[in-house]
Structure 1
Amino acid sequence: MMDILEEDIGLIDITTEGLGFGAKAAKISFAPKTEVIVCGVELVEQMCQRLGLETQCFKQCGDKVRADECVLEAYGRADAVHKVWKASQNLLEFLSGIATKTNHMLLLARLHQPHIELLTTRKIFPRTKALALKAVYAGGGAHHRLGLYDSILVFKQHRVFFESKEAFEAQFAKMKQKFLEKKIAVEVENYEEALYFAHLGTDILQCEKMDFETLKRCVALKKNFPSLLLSATGGIGEHNIEDFAKTGVDFIVTSSPYHAKPSDIRVTIEML
Structure 2
Amino acid sequence: MMDMIREDIGLIDMTTVGLEIGHLQGKITFAPKRALVLCGAELVEEICLKMNLQVKRFKSSGDKLEADELILEAYGDAEHLHYVWKVCQNILEYSCGIATKTHEMLTLARAENPHVELLTTRKIFPRTKELALKAIYAGGGAHHRLGLYDSVLIFKQHRVFFENDAAFEAQFLKMKRKFLEKKIIVEVENCEEALYFANLGADILQCEKMTPEQLQNCIYEVRKSSPAVLFSATGGVGEKNIAEYAKAGADFIVTSSPYHAKPAEIRVVIERV
Q: TM-score, normalised by structure 2?
A: 0.99
How far apart are residue 81 of structure 1 and its match? Answer: 0.4
CA distance in 2, matches of 1:223, 1:34: 48
CA distance in 1, matches of 2:255, 2:33: 27
CA distance in 2, matches of 1:126, 1:261: 18
Tell me which amino acid in the other structure corresponds to 1:169: E
Aligned to 1:45: 45
How far apart are residue 217 of structure 1 and its match? Answer: 1.5
Confirm whether residue 262 of structure 1 aligns to residue 263 of structure 2. yes
Tell me which amino acid in the other structure corresponds to 1:262: P
How far apart are residue 227 of structure 1 and its match? Answer: 1.5
Aligned to 1:159: 159
The superposition leaves residues 95-142 of structure 1 with CA deviations (integer Å, 9 ceiling, x where unpaired) of: 000000000000000000001000000000011111110100000000
Equivalent position SS for 2:267: strand
How far apart are residue 23 of structure 1 and its match? Answer: 0.8
How far apart are residue 38 of structure 1 and its match? Answer: 0.7
How far apart are residue 222 of structure 1 and its match? Answer: 2.5
How far apart are residue 211 of structure 1 and its match? Answer: 1.5
The superposition leaves residues 24-53 of structure 1 with CA deviations (integer Å, 9 ceiling, x where unpaired) of: 110000000000101000100111111110
The superposition leaves residues 57-108 of structure 1 with CA deviations (integer Å, 9 ceiling, x where unpaired) of: 0000111011000000000111110110000000000000000000000000
Equivalent position SS for 1:29: strand
Tell me which amino acid in the other structure corresponds to 2:70: C
Confirm whether residue 236 of structure 1 aligns to residue 241 of structure 2. no
Equivalent position SS for 2:76: strand
CA distance in 1, matches of 2:224, 2:34: 45
CA distance in 2, matches of 1:211, 1:20: 62
The farther-off stretch of 216-225 and 21-30 is 216-225
% same residue: 67
Confirm whether residue 100 of structure 1 aligns to residue 100 of structure 2. yes
Tell me which amino acid in the other structure corresponds to 2:22: G
Aligned to 1:249: 250
Aligned to 2:195: 195
How far apart are residue 218 of structure 1 and its match? Answer: 1.6
CA distance in 2, matches of 1:231, 1:5: 40
How far apart are residue 226 of structure 1 and its match? Answer: 2.1
Confirm whether residue 74 of structure 1 aligns to residue 50 of structure 2. no
Runs of 5+ in structure 2 lacking a partner? none
CA distance in 2, matches of 1:36, 1:195: 42
Tell me which amino acid in the other structure corresponds to 1:248: G
Give the root-mean-square deviation of aligned CA atoms.
Answer: 0.7
Detail structure 1 runs of 4+ shifted over 3 Å in the superposition: none
CA distance in 1, matches of 2:26, 2:109: 45
The superposition leaves residues 128-163 of structure 1 with CA deviations (integer Å, 9 ceiling, x where unpaired) of: 111110100000000000000000000000001111
Confirm whether residue 83 of structure 1 aligns to residue 74 of structure 2. no
Confirm whether residue 134 of structure 1 aligns to residue 134 of structure 2. yes
CA distance in 2, matches of 1:178, 1:232: 27
How far apart are residue 223 of structure 1 and its match? Answer: 3.9
Tell me which amino acid in the other structure corresponds to 1:269: I
CA distance in 2, matches of 1:160, 1:270: 63
Equivalent position SS for 1:215: helix
CA distance in 1, matches of 2:160, 2:79: 59
**Count of matched residue positions in the alignment of Structure 1 and Structure 2:** 272
CA distance in 1, matches of 2:70, 2:212: 43
How far apart are residue 213 of structure 1 and its match? Answer: 1.9
CA distance in 2, matches of 1:178, 1:134: 32
